Structures are given as C-alpha cells and as structure tokens.
Structure 1
Amino acid sequence: MKIKQFEYKPLAHYSYAIISDGKMALVDPERDPMQYYKLAEENNATITAIFETHPHADFVSSHLQIHKETGATIYASKKTGADYPHTPFDDGDSVTMGNATFTAINTPGHSPDSITIQANEDENIALFTGDTLFVGDVGRPDLREKAGHLKAKREELAKMMYKTIQNKFTNIPDAALVYPAHGAGSLCGKGMSADASSSTLGNERLGNWAFKNQTEEQFTSHLLSSQPFIPHYFGFNVSINKDGADVLSKSIGNVSIQLNVSEIEDDTLVIDTRDEADFKKNHLPNSINIMATSATSKFETWLGSTVKPEEPFYLVASSIDQISSLLDRTAKIGYEKQIKAVVTLSNKDLKQTPKLDVAEFKNNLDKYTIVDIRNQSETEEGLFFDNAHTIPLHKLRENASNLPSEKPIVVHCAGGYRSAAGSSILENQFPNSTVFDLSDAVTEFKK
C-alpha cells in the first residue's frame, strides 16, 4: 500500500492517493484532479474509489468530476444526503481494492456526517481522519448550524466529538498512521501542529489535548472556545460538495477575458490581485486589493471572507500569465461563476492610493482615525494603538459605515497583507476621506 499526500498550501489542505496492486483510491480530492490522474498514469494504476470524509466547508472537492471521468465509485456517509451518485459508507461497511481493505468509521463531531477511512494492508494501518482528528487537535464543531443536509448546533457536535475521541479509536493500535485533511493554517481547527503533516495514533494519544483524561464538560468547553472566524463561503462550499461541483475546465472556460481595461461599465466590485505597490499606483474604482502574488498567499481565504457567495465581481490579473492560475484559485472555493470577467489594466492613469508619511503619523497619532483589522483573538492579546477602532477584516465591508471619517484613516493588521485589502475597502466606503495603509510599517509600533 503506497500512500501519497498532496498539499494545497493556501488552504492548508491535504488530500491522498492510495495505490495497491495497480488500483488507486483517493481521499478528499481538491478541485483540480489532474495531479491525481498524473500519479495514476505514472504508476500504471486505475482510479477505482473516491472517499469523501464529509462535505467540506473550506474547499470544493472534485469527487463528482473524477467519478465522471474515470468511472470510480464515490463512497460517503449516507448521513451526508449526497445528491451525486455514490455508495453509502458507514460503520461496518468495507470495500477491497487490490490488496487493501477500506473500512468506514462514523466519527461525528466536526460535522454530523463525518467518517474516518481505515485502510489495512497486511500489518499496515492508515487512518484518513478528514476534519475529525488533526495532528495536535480535532475539528471545530461550529460549521454545521446553517449548512448541510444534517444541521447540528455546535454544543451538540462538541459532545459528539467527545464521544468520538473517547470511543471510536479505542481498538486501533498505536502504530496506525494518522492522515488528516488539514494542517496548521486551516480555519477548520484552532490548534493544529505546524511541525508535522501526519502522525501516529500513539503520538496523538500522548500529545493531543483531546485524548487527555477529562470530563465531557471540560472537553466541550475547550473545543468551543476561541475558534477562528467563519468565512462567508464556508456554508456555500458545503452545499456545492453535497451536490458535486461542475467539471473544472468547463466551469472556468465560461469566464470571459478583457485586456487593457481602463474602466468598467457599472459599479460592480473589482478584486485586484496585484501586489499592493502596483495597486496603490493605479487601480479601478470600487477595487479591493486581495493579493495573489505568491503560491502560498491566503488569496482564497480572504476572497471568500470578503466577497459573499453569488456576489459578482471583476478579477484583475497582473499579466496574461497569471490568468489561468487566478481562475484555478478562485475555483478552489467555487467562486468562478461569480466572475464577470478577468481583466488586465491599461497604462492609463486610474485611481491612486496616497502614501502615508509614517514619521508624521507617529508624531501625531491623535490626528488620525486608526482602524485595526486583525482578528478578535489577536486584538484581545493587545492593541498596537490605544485609540484604535477594531473591526476584523472579514467584517469590515459590513461594518465600515460605523467608523468616523472626519480625520484621515490609517488601516493596519499585523504585517501588511490584510491591511492592503482593508484600506482599499475603506477607500471605497469613504470616497471623500483620505485612507492610508500602514502596511508593514506596523512593525515599528509593536509594544
């Protein structure tokens, strides 16, 4: 049994291919299946099975596309209420592929329909735990109150998770390998280890807080506290994954491209993905600067946190070479159908963002309205400025009107990436005010 882990870093997502005797199974595949097809071809293997551990909230899966293109059987819990062709896979169900046997374990907690896939071949055991068991943590229980075939309150799911951890892994040996669907940086949990992408059940029993001797009340209290924010797109992705997403190439192939644009015809939102320096020099009105300048930038997270599902927008690329990548990244969260067009900008003078005189600002803080757009957990640990107004970035568009705008506005986060988006949001909100981005100069003000 050969196991290959795939990582998509911007969403800290892990997917898996398991090869045995010329056959391949996939677990929680991401939106673009080509990397799995390439691995199958390289190993002269046939993809015969796709396992979905639950309807994912933070990314769009390609399970239905793979089924259509390979004929592989999709396995998912009957509790999912899936609308795509599938074989129910729950406690007691198993399927053999090559020399490996895959068994379903119902492990509710992150969602009511979560399953863990146990793969056995000879003496080797691997657990594909989805968003149930992470390295150092367990999945958050607060994402299924308003989404999915089965809805459950966070308190109910936290109690389910306690029972899952207490009972579902009891008879599995310490040597079993643990392969989760996410690592550190994912919003599907709060305390995942940044040191490893996989583990053993024995190591988790020793080091994971969830396996410690504790009461249900102690467990649920810890699990429910201080969970990260929930982006707008999470419930939307649960619905997409329950139905099964469209074939990627067809879906992004319908998006039009417009080159050398100097204006747009309406007041539709513009998402400008260029570097903040280029954006500040020249951008279209009604633009938000969500940078997609590196392979690891959190573009998907902040796009899905700032823009609501089904809200139309234009997408600005820095060059022709970036267009394909931008479409793929936008499709990772199922937002490609909202794109009115991908555009590149002309060389004409468009809108500019003024540059902050940091020294003048430092000496005259009371002359500015300072807006801290870090997450609540960050601001609770302390403010950079005593008189700052705190609105997390994911809530800024909806709450910006509550800010005073008589003074020049200075926006900051913790390092500069988010403040580029935040300052551009406020620039749109307050066209008659001067809005500055403190950017990475914020490090000069750390207490």
Structure 2
Amino acid sequence: MNVEQIYTGCLAQGAYYIESAGEAVIIDPLRETGPYLKKLAETGARLKYIFETHFHADFVSGHLDLARETGAQIVYGPLADPDYAIYSAADGEALRVGELTFVVLHTPGHTMESSTFLLRDASGKDYALFTGDTLFLGDVGRPDLAIKQGEVTKEDLAGYLFNSLRGKIMPLADDVLVYPAHGAGSACGKNLSKETFGRLGDQKRTNYALRADMTREEFVREVTAGLTPPPQYFAKNAQMNKGGYDRFDEVLGRGNRALTADKFEQLAESEDALILDVRDRADFAAGFIPNSIFIGIDGQFAPWVGALIVDIKQPILIVAPAGREEEVVTRLSRVGYDTTLGYLDGGIAAWRAAGREVDTIETISATEFATRVERGGVDHILDTRKPTEFLSEHLEAGENFPLDYINGSRMQELDREETYYLHCGSGYRSLIAASILQARGYRHLVNVEGGWSAIKDTDLPKTAYTCPTKIDQQAVDRAVIAVL
C-alpha cells in the first residue's frame, strides 16, 4: 500500500495518490494532470477511480481531464448531481482498489454532497480517513458556502455537520489517520492547523468542534461565529467543478503565448484586458506598465487573484519573470481564470526598449516611515491586513483597509488629492493594494516595505501603538462589518 499526499502550498490544498497491487485512486486532484500521469507512469499502476469529496469552491479540480486521459471513473457520494457522467456511490458503499477497500461516508454539512472516504487496509482494519472539507486539523469546514436562499441556511448546514461528525467520524478509532483537503492558509475554515495530517484521537482531544460534551446548539453557534464573507470566486469555482470547464491543455495553449510589446498593447486595448504583473515586488515598484495590477507569483498568488479579480472570465495579459510564464497560466487556471491571452516577451525591459511609458510606486523602508511619522508628515496610514491582525496590534493613527475588501465601497471614501501610506505584514499585500488604487486614479501612494514586522523594529514610541489584551468575537464581527 502506498499513500502519498501531494500538497500545494499556494492553495494550502492536499490531493492524494493511493496505490495497491497495480491499481490506484486519486482524491481531489488539482487542475493540471501532468504530475498525476507521471506518477502513474512511474508506478505502472492503472487509475481506477477519481474520488471527489465535494464540489470544491477554492480551486478547480482536475477530475474531468484526468478521467478523459485515463478512463478512470469519477466518484462522488450521495446528492452530487453534476453535468457530466459520474459514479454516484451510496452511503456506506465499499469500493475495492487493489487489496484495499474504500468506504464512502456521506458527511453533509460543509456542503450537502460532502463525503469522506474511509480507507481500510488489506486486513480490513480502518487505516485512514480522507475528510475533504468536512474535518480539518483544528477546525471543521465552514457551513456558509452552500446556503440557498429560502431553502437551507448556514445554521441548517452546521446542524448537518454536527450530525455527520458525531455519527460518522467520531466513532472511528483514535489511531485512524486524518487526511484533510486543506491546511493553514485556506479560507475554507477559521482555525486550520499548519500540520497537513494527523490522528483522529488528537482531533477528538484538541479540536474545538469535536468536544465530547458539546451540544448541537453550542456547535452551531461556535461554528457559525465570526465567519467573514467568502472570497467572491468560491461560488464560481464550485459551479465550474459541477458544470464542467475547458480542457487544461487548451487553456495553456491560449495563455502561454509570447507577445511583442506592440501585440501586447494592442490586445490590452482591443480585449479590455487586465495586465497582471507577477514579478518580485521590488521590481514591480521600480517600474511597471501603467494601470497594471501587482500580485506576486511568490506570495499567496492564486487565492489573491480569486479574491480581487471579480470577473472570472476577465481577459488577462501577463508580465512575468522569464521562464515562469507557463507556471503563471497554470496557477491562474487552478482558480478558474482561463482567459489568459499571453505574456510580454522580454518582460518590462522589452516594454522600455519599445519606448513605452512606465509607471512607479514610491516604496520606503520602515525606518524612513518611522522618521516621517515622528516629524508629523504622515496624515493617512492604511493598514491592509485582516481585521483580526489589525485588532491584535496596530498603529494608533492607522486605519484598517483590508486588501480582502478593497473592491468595496470604502475605496470611494479616499481622497485622490491626499497622500496615503500603506502597510501590511510584510509589504506584499500593501503593494497589491497600492497597485489597485493607482490603477483607479489614486496617485499619491507610499508603500512601506517590510510592513508591520519591520515597523515594530523601529524607534517609534510604544504610545503610537494600540495593543488590546483580548480580542473577543464581537470585536472581530464589528471590525468586519465596519470595513465591508
């Protein structure tokens, strides 16, 4: 028996490859099939099943392309009704893979079709549980992504989740391994662990949602408390996973095209394309194509694309580090942004060589920022971190302006004639925010490189800080409402 977790840090997502006696199953694969096909070729195994734990909202699964390329069956549990052929497994049904058995456990709550897959070894012993978004390490799946107006509420889904956990998962032995679909960094839960797998017994002892003495009412209240609005692309990705999508090789063929500066500019105008610059943030700040948006490939790239580019069919042109263009197209497709038109051949150097205009964003060190604050020359500070980060510690003069909600109405409250200093935790998110604001006509922007971690190391007096001793959930809820 071979059980391998294939973890993708940018999405905090775990796919799984399990092989036994020449047969294999893949659980929750990512969009591109190449890594899975390579693994199958190396082991010589035949892919028998592709298990989908639910209609994923935070990424586009590779199940359709993988099924076409291998002939494997796509398997969902009860209540899934996609627009393509699947094997709909019954609750409790056993499926054989080599010498192994997978038992399908219908565990509604995160979504109504959510199922987990219990792996039994060749001797019939319960070995591992692939929980999808039903159970994470440290948390459970959020119950607000599959609500239907007038039909099912987040409280209803939380109640189903309570029953699923107590009736299907918690009765299993403590030594069963838990392999979830996500770890820390995913927006599919509130308190996910940095660990990517663990023992069920540990979760029974430490996971707040699995307390043995917890009532249904307490569970519903705690699981639904403090849920921020999900990223706008979640519903769109879920629909793609349910309804189908273009083949990945077609998406890659369209997007991985080298364009001259002339052709790049022509497409930007004729297709109303968004120019997405994914280079290092220092390189971007020093010179970029006017009106382009920065989202660095070496940060939480795909989730920020999904959160900030509202139209999932938006035509996109890429400015990327040399040799990483295909990677960018691939990572965009993982969250459903399939309308990439190509990339600037030769990058920003080619743009400059063609005599085109270049824009910049002023970037200063945390030390210089502190000096300007002490001199009284800083009137507006935009802290682009999440409300919870802001509440934990921030500058007294700072205003919370979370990047997550930058496309909301609060942008209109800013004065285009005023100068705004932006910071986040490190400088990544604040530069994204600055690029968006500058593209919308805000020209007096200063990004603080190093962000909050660097600001705290300056000589700013502690009286400039607000640091509450306790953050209660009501404070978080009020902060979220305030920035929406």
Alpha-carbon distance in structure 2 between the residues aligned to 1:402 and 1:73: 53
Alpha-carbon distance in structure 1 between the residues aligned to 2:106 and 2:52: 12
Contact residue 132 and residue 139 of structure 1 kept, 8 A: yes
For residues 67-107 of structure 1, give each alpha carbon's deviation from its aligned partner in whole angstroms, at most 9, with x where no partner exists.
Answer: 11111011113412111210112313222121111111111
Counterpart position of 1:231: 231
Indicate yes or no: 2:7 matched with 1:2. no
Alpha-carbon distance in structure 2 between the residues aligned to 1:250 and 1:241: 17
Shift of 1:58: 0.7
Alpha-carbon distance in structure 2 between the residues aligned to 1:120 and 1:369: 59
Alpha-carbon distance in structure 2 between the residues aligned to 1:201 and 1:249: 39
Structure-to-structure mapping, 1:235-246, within 5 angstroms: 235-246=235-246
Q: Which amino acid aligns with 1:354?
A: E
Q: CA RMSD in A?
A: 2.2
Counterpart position of 1:375: 386
Counterpart position of 1:50: 50
Alpha-carbon distance in structure 2 between the residues aligned to 1:247 and 1:151: 34
SS at match of 1:139: coil
Counterpart position of 1:417: 428
Structure-to-structure mapping, 1:141-290, within 5 angstroms: 141-145=143-147, 152-194=152-194, 196-212=195-211, 213-255=213-255, 256-260=257-261, 263=265, 265-266=268-269, 268-290=273-295
Unaligned runs of 5+ in 2: 457-464, 466-484
Q: Which amino acid aligns with 2:358?
A: L
Contact residue 50 and residue 75 of structure 1 kept, 8 A: yes
Counterpart position of 2:402: 392
Larger CA deviation: 138-147 vs 262-271:
262-271
Larger CA deviation: 437-446 vs 101-110:
437-446
Larger CA deviation: 351-360 vs 87-96:
351-360
Normalized against structure 1, the TM-score is what?
Answer: 0.92
Indicate yes or no: 2:60 matched with 1:83. no
Counterpart position of 1:426: 437
SS at match of 1:6: strand
Alpha-carbon distance in structure 2 between the residues aligned to 1:205 and 1:54: 23
Q: Which amino acid aligns with 1:350?
A: V
Contact residue 369 and residue 405 of structure 1 kept, 8 A: no
Counterpart position of 1:107: 107
Q: Which amino acid aligns with 1:31?
A: R
Contact residue 50 and residue 72 of structure 2 kept, 8 A: yes
Indicate yes or no: 2:68 matched with 1:68. yes
Contact residue 274 and residue 316 of structure 1 kept, 8 A: no
Choose the corresponding residue for 2:361, options 347, 353, 357.
353
Q: Which amino acid aligns with 1:165?
A: L
SS at match of 1:105: strand
Alpha-carbon distance in structure 2 between the residues aligned to 1:132 and 1:31: 21
SS at match of 1:252: helix
Shift of 1:314: 3.1
Shift of 1:170: 4.4
Contact residue 232 and residue 309 of structure 1 kept, 8 A: no
Residue 151 to residue 258, structure 1, CA distance change in 2 (3 Å): farther
For residues 225-251 of structure 1, give each alpha carbon's deviation from its aligned partner in whole angstroms, at most 9, with x where no partner exists.
Answer: 223552121111100111233321122
Larger CA deviation: 301-310 vs 267-276:
267-276
Indicate yes or no: 2:447 matched with 1:437. yes
SS at match of 1:197: coil
Shift of 1:376: 1.9
Contact residue 424 and residue 451 of structure 2 kept, 8 A: no
SS at match of 1:133: coil
Counterpart position of 2:300: 298
Aligned residues, how many? 438
Seq. identity, % = 32
Shift of 1:128: 0.7
Structure-to-structure mapping, 1:115-154, within 5 angstroms: 115-121=115-121, 122=123, 123-145=125-147, 152-154=152-154
Alpha-carbon distance in structure 1 between the residues aligned to 2:273 and 2:29: 33
Alpha-carbon distance in structure 2 between the residues aligned to 1:443 and 1:199: 31
Larger CA deviation: 400-409 vs 279-288:
400-409
Contact residue 112 and residue 151 of structure 1 kept, 8 A: no
Indicate yes or no: 2:332 matched with 1:324. no
Residue 11 to residue 166, structure 1, CA distance change in 2 (3 Å): same
SS at match of 2:53: coil
Alpha-carbon distance in structure 2 between the residues aligned to 1:222 and 1:252: 43
Larger CA deviation: 179-188 vs 261-270:
261-270
Larger CA deviation: 79-88 vs 401-410:
401-410
Shift of 1:380: 2.8
Unaligned runs of 5+ in 1: none
Q: Which amino acid aligns with 1:352?
A: T
Shift of 1:319: 3.5
Alpha-carbon distance in structure 2 between the residues aligned to 1:161 and 1:103: 19
SS at match of 1:36: helix
Counterpart position of 2:471: none
SS at match of 2:222: helix
Q: Which amino acid aligns with 2:58?
A: D
Normalized against structure 2, the TM-score is what?
Answer: 0.85
Counterpart position of 2:462: none
Residue 263 to residue 65, structure 1, CA distance change in 2 (3 Å): closer
SS at match of 2:285: helix
